[in-house]
Amino acid sequence: MAEKKPKGSRVKIKFNPIVGPLQVLTAVLAFFALALGVIIAGGYLTRAINGTTQQMSLEITEATIFTTTTVVTPKPTPTPTPYVVNEILSFGPDRNKIVEDYFGPLPEVEKCVPVNHFEVKGIYIAADYDMQDKLDMFFELAEQSEINTFVIDLKESYGVTYNSKNELANEIGYVSNAFDLSEVVDVCHEHGIYVIGRIVTFKDPALAAKYPDRAICDATGTPLKFSSEGGNYFVSPYDTRNWDYIIDLADEAIDMGVDEIQFDYVRFPTGSSTTGAEPYYGAEEDLVPKRFEVIDRFLQTARRKIQDPTGVPVSADIFGISVSSSLDGYIMGQDWATVGFTQVDSVCPMLYPSHYAPGTILNGHEHEFPDKEPYSVVYNALLIGSQYHNLDGYSTVRPYIQAFTAYYIGEGKYAIYDYETINEQIKGLQDAGLSEFILWNATREYPEGNYGGNRG
């Protein structure tokens, strides 16, 4: 039996020397002819297969497109639902419409971060080039008392004090770079101090001079200066460009670490203009928001842009006389009955006894020389204001109290404001049902003491 070759073994051609040359040549030609035939046949087969595949692919692609466009309907991208903020403040249907038509709707809030309210017992520290070097002195005072907060200037009427990169502030040229805000905040936090950034809002002579169309003007468009405001210009609270600038500064300060934003001079100027000309806010006065509606609307807007989305509290400084006199409040645009319902975290009435005229009557009590009666002025002013600020939904009330001696009001009319006199005011606000306060002294000089009011 012949031996079987293993499966898959190669065919070997052995040259037999007996075989003639002609036979060898014939065998070689036959082998090459067979190979060529296999190659040609393979080419035809490959084309046939590829053609079928391409046709099938085309048919599948067309079927897929046809199915997608006719059978499957893409779902539209859902429109995000804005977070609904329930505003407490209302001027009444007719007045609300006037305010809305003038300023447009309040900005939407995508989310609302709750405020973690901090009980402030603070001192004001004026910004200067040596402020950063003198912080240790104020830390020592805080360690030996109930003081837990520093209010630091971010913007005064003369300009921006910290190392701001704000484009408009630098264009005006009034960024003093008196201190590094981030460094100040960091060292305060290391000492357990809460930091409030104070921003002077509408008293801005340099901005008004740079851009007169943003100032309070008369009917001819001429910017006005005001005698009771040091002969200075005010930028117009009606101009929302001024709102945006202030809010931009606040956002920058928050990025640099401040714990709270406080707006000062968030009002219209007091008194008449130096020329006697009247401010002009629009020809059809019935269709123009009232001054207090403008200030309230600014605070609502600032709250929605700062406090609501970040949880960083916003507070506003209010003239003390507004608490007890609605007429004065209307002139300045600070209505105690409504400002606390803007839902900013705190409102801060400046209840300085020296700012009340001799013979002022508060809550039925006549004060011959108010500066000499610090307890009574603070206590009775707050009792009058409580008819509003004790209502549900009103902002926390945190008074500024006097920590300076008002020599300028005349001999016999003032008291020396040492620790005991200052602490009398704290007792007054405590007896009126409040607990928070900020001491004001423009020269940053505060006597030693606990500042505990009834706790000594």
Report pLDDT for 283: 74
Residue 346 CA, chain-centre distance (Å), reads 15
Q: How far is CA 37 from CA 8, 31, 32, 33, 46, in A?
A: 22, 10, 9, 6, 14
**Strand, coil or helix: what is 352?**
coil
Cα separation of the two ends of the chain: 127
Element (H, E) at 422: helix 419-431
Per-residue model confidence as pLDDT tens digits over 245-255:
999 999 999 99
CA-CA distance, 454 to 384, in Å (whole number)? Answer: 21
> Taking Cα atoms as reference points, which of 297, 302, 374, 288 lies closest to residue 345?
302
Report pLDDT for 84: 77
Q: Which residues pair with 43 in a beta bridge?
A: none
Domain boundaries, the chain: 93-350
Report pLDDT for 77: 67
Rounded mean pLDDT, 314-342: 96
Q: How far is CA 342 from CA 90, 236, 243, 382, in A?
A: 9, 20, 16, 19
Rounded mean pLDDT, 128-156: 96
The yes-or-no verdict on residue 34 having pLDDT over 80 is: no
26-35, 101-110, 292-301, 317-326: segment of lowest average pLDDT: 26-35
Rounded mean pLDDT, 369-395: 98
Report pLDDT for 419: 98
CA-CA distance, 456 to 451, in Å (whole number)? Answer: 7
Q: Are 419 and 449 in contact (CB under 8 A)?
A: yes
Answer with the residue of higher pLDDT: 426 or 34: 426
Compute the mean pLDDT over every residue in the chain, rounded to the nearest whole number. Answer: 87
> Taking Cα atoms as reference points, which of 266, 268, 431, 438 lies closest to residue 363?
431
Q: For 93-350, CATH number?
A: 3.20.20.80
Percent over 70 (pLDDT), the chain: 82
The yes-or-no verdict on residue 52 having pLDDT over 90 is: no
> Taking Cα atoms as reference points, which of 158, 271, 260 lies closest to residue 205?
158
CA-CA distance, 54 to 210, in Å (whole number)? Answer: 73
Report pLDDT for 76: 66
**Strand, coil or helix: what is 35?**
helix
The neighbour count for residue 127, using CB atoms within 10 Å, is 21
Write the DSSP symbol of residue 134: G
Q: Which two tokens stand for residue 40?
A: 């040609």
